Amino acid sequence: MRHSIRSQQPSDHRETPRSTRPVRDPFGDDSAKRLERAALVSVLLPGTKADLRNPLGELASLAESAGVKVVDMMVQKRMTLSPKTGLGKGKLAELVERVTESKANVVIFDNDLAPRQIRELEEAVGCKVLDRSELILDIFALRAKTREAQLQVELAQLEYTAPRLRGLWTHLERIAGAGGGTAAGAVGGVGTRGPGERQIEIDRRVVHDRISFLRREIEEVDKRKQREVQSRSDQFTVSLVGYTNSGKSTLLNKLTQSEQYTADLLFATLDTKTVRWSLGEGRAVLLSDTVGFIRDLPHHLIASFKATLEEAIHANLLLHVVDISSPTAWQQMESVDEVLKSLGCENIPQLTLLNKIDVADDVSLAEMLGRHRADVLQISALTGEGLDALIAEVTRRAKGDALDATVRIPHHEGKLMTELCGLSDVRSRRYTDEAVELDIRINRAQLRQLQGRYPALSVLQSH
């Protein structure tokens, strides 16, 4: 579903919910791309995780990623969001004026807003209002390419916007009840008059049914994904995690000579890609790249993206990529730690990679991060600096819980032979008429897994 920013006009309420429509790639339609002119607003609350030197910088990048042109920005400091519109009275009046002056046709808040606040704001400013989570969901909808990602985004969108739609419907019902067609027409415009409540009921049921359908489909995808990840459990798996735009895909490409899409855009990657990463000396591990994280990631999204994040959840090692050239590197790292915790990944061994050192001005930040975290490496995915040390460290970890063993493999077990040699250091081989005997060094768990899958593998001794 393309949950277009344009799709939230009150006049939309009688249309078939957008979720039932096929997914299109709006970047294919360049004329539509820049039609939207956004005024950005942030209410800075105590304890905000926004960058105080540039409080709307990240939201502007998000808007850019959604293909929206930013025409104005406004910040207000408050102790709490005002219950009615988020803003104080004076600031709201200023916003109304600025929206008219800048000819903005959408207002995007950096805060998450309640359905009622959005409704009040839309009435006051006379154009559509979005909050931060909706904008993020919009970008996800734009980038979702695989069926799995599309299902996940659609569910997250419906669940996030459903209460808001309900608010809208109640609102329209109230107006329709009070003044009939004229009042409804004044608010909703063409398309809002008509069967009224019956239509509203139908819409509600359609959304509800669609949510149930999506949940079932995603459950199936989840199961399939779990089986897929399970089937690889005898291989050492490494997952790239990190804030969006930190350089994960660039690093995967560099390490594995792949061609994953990279761009100076937030959420360039949405799907997981797993490739074989050869570490040299016949040793290989699996390396996964996945969706980036962001501060205050909508909870619905994390829940729906469980299948996509399955690889990260079951990895043997996480490579936490940090963009050290960003002035907010520290906050970004903390946000990623939070998301990993919410996924139950906090105990997976982790290496922190301070990436983009080729363009980092502030070396003291890298030094400070290095002092505060264990296992930190400085790298540049672009120039390749520091990657030898990374490979050496991952090799050491992949050997990890290693044991020396002597094993016997019948000659006809070619597949077993190839797998075993990929996973172990072969020290020596002896040939008999029926079999090969090998002295190897291998990860304990990997040897166990191989034994489970290949009964023909005999372990003669191990220590």
Ligand X SMILES: Nc1nc2c(ncn2[C@@H]2O[C@H](COP(=O)(O)OP(=O)(O)OP(=O)(O)O)[C@@H](O)[C@H]2O)c(=O)[nH]1
Q: Which does 155 bind (CB under 5 to 8 A by kind): Mg ion, ligand X, none?
A: none
Q: Which does 99 bind (CB under 5 to 8 A by kind): Mg ion, ligand X, none?
A: none
Pick between residue 92 and residue 255 the one whose CB is nearest to Mg ion.
255
Binding flag, residue 245, ligand X (CB under 6 A): yes
Binding flag, residue 355, Mg ion (CB under 5 A): no
Q: Which does 381 bind (CB under 5 to 8 A by kind): Mg ion, ligand X, none?
A: ligand X
Binding flag, residue 313, ligand X (CB under 6 A): no
Site string for ligand X, 345-384 (x = CB under 6 A): ----------xx-xx--------------------xxx--
Sequence-separated (6 or more) residues with CB below 8 Å from residue 14: 191, 192, 194, 199, 203
Binding flag, residue 161, Mg ion (CB under 5 A): no
Among residues 4, 152, 157, 244, which is the contact residue for ligand X, using CB under 6 A? 244
Binding flag, residue 302, ligand X (CB under 6 A): no
Pair type for strands 37-44 and 69-77? parallel
Pick between residue 391 and residue 445 the one whose CB is nearest to ligand X.
391
Q: How far is the CB of 251 from Mg ion (least distance, A)?
A: 9
Q: Which does 245 bind (CB under 5 to 8 A by kind): ligand X, Mg ion, none?
A: ligand X
Among residues 30, 264, 281, 433, which is the contact residue for ligand X, using CB under 6 A? 264
Edge-to-edge, what's the strand order for the sheet holding 458-462?
425-431, 435-443, 402-410, 458-462
Binding flag, residue 263, ligand X (CB under 6 A): yes
Q: Which does 157 bind (CB under 5 to 8 A by kind): Mg ion, ligand X, none?
A: none
Distance, C-alpha 77 to centroid of its chain? 29
Q: What is the DSSP string of 266-335?
A: TT---S-EEEEEEEETTEEEEEEE---B-TT--HHHHHHTTTTTHHHHT-SEEEEEEETTSTTHHHHHHH
* 218: nearest Cα among 153, 272, 162, 148: 148
Burial tier of 251 (Cβ tally within 10 Å: 0-12, 13-18, 19+): buried
Find the part of the chain contacting Mg ion (CB under 5 A) among 31-39, 72-80, 201-209, 247-255. Answer: 247-255
Binding flag, residue 268, Mg ion (CB under 5 A): yes
Q: Which helix (H) or strand (E) holds 410?
A: strand 402-410
Binding flag, residue 390, ligand X (CB under 6 A): no
Pick between residue 117 and residue 249 the one whose CB is nearest to ligand X.
249
d(CA 100, CA 146): 40
Q: What is the DSSP string of 174-235?
A: HHHHHHHHHHHHHHH-TTS-SSTHHHHHHHHHHHHHHHHHHHHHHHHHHHHHHHHHHHTTTS
Q: How far is the CB of 146 from ligand X (least distance, A)?
A: 15
Q: What is the DSSP string of 70-111?
A: EEEEEEEE-SS-BTTTBS-HHHHHHHHHHHHHHT-SEEEESS
Find the part of the chain contacting Mg ion (CB under 5 A) among 179-187, 245-253, 334-342, 349-357. Answer: 245-253
Q: How far is the CB of 129 from Mg ion (least distance, A)?
A: 30
Is the distance from CB of 30 to CB of 276 less than 8 angstroms?
A: no
Binding flag, residue 269, ligand X (CB under 6 A): yes
Q: Tell me 15's DSSP state.
A: S
Q: Which does 91 bind (CB under 5 to 8 A by kind): ligand X, Mg ion, none?
A: none
Q: Tell me 455's DSSP state.
A: T
Is the distance from CB of 319 to CB of 239 less than 8 angstroms?
A: yes
Binding flag, residue 386, ligand X (CB under 6 A): no
Q: How far is the CB of 370 from ligand X (least distance, A)?
A: 17
Q: Which residues bind ligand X (CB under 6 A)?
A: 242, 244-250, 262-264, 266-269, 292, 355-356, 358-359, 380-382
Q: Which residues bind Mg ion (CB under 5 A)?
A: 249, 268-269
